[in-house]
Amino acid sequence: MKTKALPYIYICLFLSFFFNSTAQVQNDEVYEYPNLNSQDYRYNIRIPDIDGYKTLKCDFHVHTVFSDGKVWPDQRVKEAWNEGLDVIAITDHIEYRANKKILISDHNKSYEIAKAQGDAIGMLVIKGAEITRQKPLGHLNALFIQDANKLERPDAIEAIDEAMKQGGFILWNHPGWPDDKSTMYPIHRELIEKQKIHGIEVFNGWEAYPKVIDWCQEFNLAPISNSDIHYTSANLYRGKLMRPMTLVFAKDYTEQGVKDAMFSGRTLAFYNNVLSGDEGLLKSLIKASLSVRVINEKNGMIEITNLSDIAYEIKYGEYMYPMPLYPNQVLRATIPTGTDVEFSNCICGKDRHITLKLW
């Protein structure tokens, strides 16, 4: 009996030692509160998948201390993960490096640091760089590149060509900056015609560019919304406002999946609780977000359940102002069958909103 009991005693002693050694400290000298450490928590932003594609929440314009940002690259990844994003691109300026006297490094280093953190926590980090020129060309992000150092060229067109050679997706940044005029210059038309610009920011940081959503339709460009973040993300977007993001509808959660979706134009810009982009994608997302139950078919009483974290706004009948469809809540409304319902915060063109029949 004693020989059989010994192993059991050893196991008990080991487990007691293990749990005591890993438990939080609670004694007369130290009392730990591990619940106050929230760095491993993440906001779960519910935006449904559509049409067989995964809906990925992305920010393709992010700066670090390796250009003119204020944050180390691995912290950018942690911030984005905490805030519910799935993908970020590190896009430090090629031509402007405010800390180059302190940080002696090549243009790939910030991505390498961020990528290591992304791999460690399971978040996708895209390699990019910002080609920085004055208007008329402006600023362009080159995404999915292989070597940012090769983009350091005196001639901006040569830098773009090099990015294209590396398989890059070229994004026209903040077209209304710095003169508050969203102007498409001949150089942009030429680059678009040669398929050397593939997307354009509809929203950047705190600015929206109403004309741009029409340009996306006219020139077959992917609509993009980015933070262009330089400082810490804390308190940038407080309360119920989410960080600006691009919704990418990808076949899978891989870099190639994101790249294929963006070159195919399967993106929507999401900012300040506004969705902008292709009419078909917007309608698919709305339908996937909402569930409608008919309460009284005769008088048109229905219940609309919003299954997403997007606060939709609808106008119907004789109502002058939009009615909110709050996330994870149900609205009971009288909307007769066949009624056109306008989604006021879903924009498919300048001053054009999505209209749907709910039932």
Q: Centre a 10 Å sphere on the Cβ of residue 298 and count the other Cβ atoms it contains.
A: 7
pLDDT at 19 over 80: no
Residue pair 61/89 in contact by the 8 Å Cβ criterion? yes
Span 248-259, pLDDT tens digits: 999 999 999 999
Three-state DSSP state, 110:
helix
pTM: 0.90
Span 179-236, pLDDT tens digits: 999 999 999 999 999 999 999 999 999 999 999 999 999 999 999 999 999 999 888 8
CA 243, CA 355: separation in Å to the nearest integer? Answer: 26
In this predicted structure, what is the pLDDT of residue 18? 43
In this predicted structure, what is the pLDDT of residue 15? 45
Tell me the two tokens of residue 213: 């959503």
User: What mean pLDDT is predicted for residues 253-275?
Assistant: 98
How far is residue 44 from each of residues 125, 141, 159, 274, measured CA to CA in Å?
19, 28, 38, 19
**Counting beta carbons within 10 angstroms of the beta carbon of residue 297, is it exposed (0 to 12), middle (13 to 18) or buried (19 or more)?**
exposed
Tell me the two tokens of residue 228: 């262009």
Amino acid (one-letter) located at 126: I
Across 123-150, b (16+ Cβ under 10 Å) vs e yields: bbbbbbbbbbeeeebbbbbbbbbeebeb
